[in-house]
Amino acid sequence: MGALRALGAALLELALPSVCPACDAPRAAREPVLCARCAAGVRPLARLRAVHTAIAYEGVGLELVRRFKFDGRHDARAVLAARLTARVAELRFDAIVPIPRHLVRVRSEGRDPVFELARLLARATGAALLDRVLARARPTPPQTGLTIAARRTNVAGSFTARPHALAGRRVLLVDDVATTGATLAEAARTLRRESGAKRITLAAVAGTPASVL
């Protein structure tokens, strides 16, 4: 059955070439997922303060994240997951914890994009995906437009963690976009205080360049 599905997918790809996930330019079978122009437009960004990042949250990178998060584009998700996987390959971790959305938001929107990224990352790296260790204690307003100090205040005390759930683990804490790193830092503090993680490394697929802040 699996072989038949793979054959069917291959035939469909030949019959109906897909499009670039960033600009919707037609993509012929077996061509790279991102068209050449969009691939050249993705700017690598290796770090945002303490956060390991893969790409800059601007231009094509921003459009890929937007289409993945708000349009549900699986092709954009695949590109982002591949970039993040390549970026964290040099890091040492044995468990992945995604930054969770509040349950109310997941129910209203029907999905959790960060969990989706973390699941693909876990499959690619072989690390354990521990998505029930960290939870939102309360919903928080969007961080967009807030100062660094206001962002820290906004997320303070917004997470809870299962006691001792990460004892001895080396954890990769993952988010989709890091602007100041405030959300990841608060989540990491909660995990250290409550879950007993041995080591926590922060990562996000995209980081907002300092020039944009």
CATH number of residue 150's parent domain:
3.40.50.2020
Cβ atoms of 131 and 117 within 8 Å: the answer is no
Asked if 58 and 147 sit in the same domain, the reply is yes
What pTM value is reported for the model? 0.83
Structure confidence at residue 142 (pLDDT): 59
- The pair phi, psi for residue 119, each rounded to 5°, is -65, -45
Cβ atoms of 179 and 53 within 8 Å: the answer is no
Cα–Cα distance measured from residue 45 to residue 62, given in angstroms and rounded to the nearest whole number:
12
Asked if 61 and 34 sit in the same domain, the reply is no
Q: What is the pLDDT of residues 82-135, one digit of tens each?
A: 999 999 999 999 999 999 986 656 556 668 999 999 999 999 999 999 999 999
Q: Which of helix, strand or coil describes residue 31? A: coil
Q: What is the pLDDT of residues 123-154, one digit of tens each?
A: 999 999 999 999 987 666 555 665 666 566 56
- Long-range Cβ contact pairs of 43-48 (< 8 A, separation 24 or more): 45/206, 45/207, 45/209, 46/87, 47/207, 48/178, 48/179, 48/181, 48/204, 48/207, 48/208
Q: Which of helix, strand or coil describes residue 198? A: coil
Work out how many domains the chain is built from and give that number.
2
What domain range includes position 14?
Answer: 1-41
Asked if 106 and 178 sit in the same domain, the reply is yes
> In angstroms, how far is the first alpha carbon of the chain from the final one?
51
Percent of the chain residues past pLDDT 70, beyond the cut: 77
Q: Which of 208, 203, 35, 21 is nearest to 121 (CA)?
A: 203
Asked if 89 and 12 sit in the same domain, the reply is no
Q: What is the DSSP string of 54-121?
A: EEESSHHHHHHHHHHHHH--HHHHHHHHHHHHHHHTTS--SEEEEPPPPHHHHHHHS--HHHHHHHHH
Residue range 9-17: mean pLDDT, rounded: 46
Asked if 96 and 136 sit in the same domain, the reply is yes
CB atoms within 10 A of CB 105: 15
Q: Which of helix, strand or coil describes residue 141? A: coil
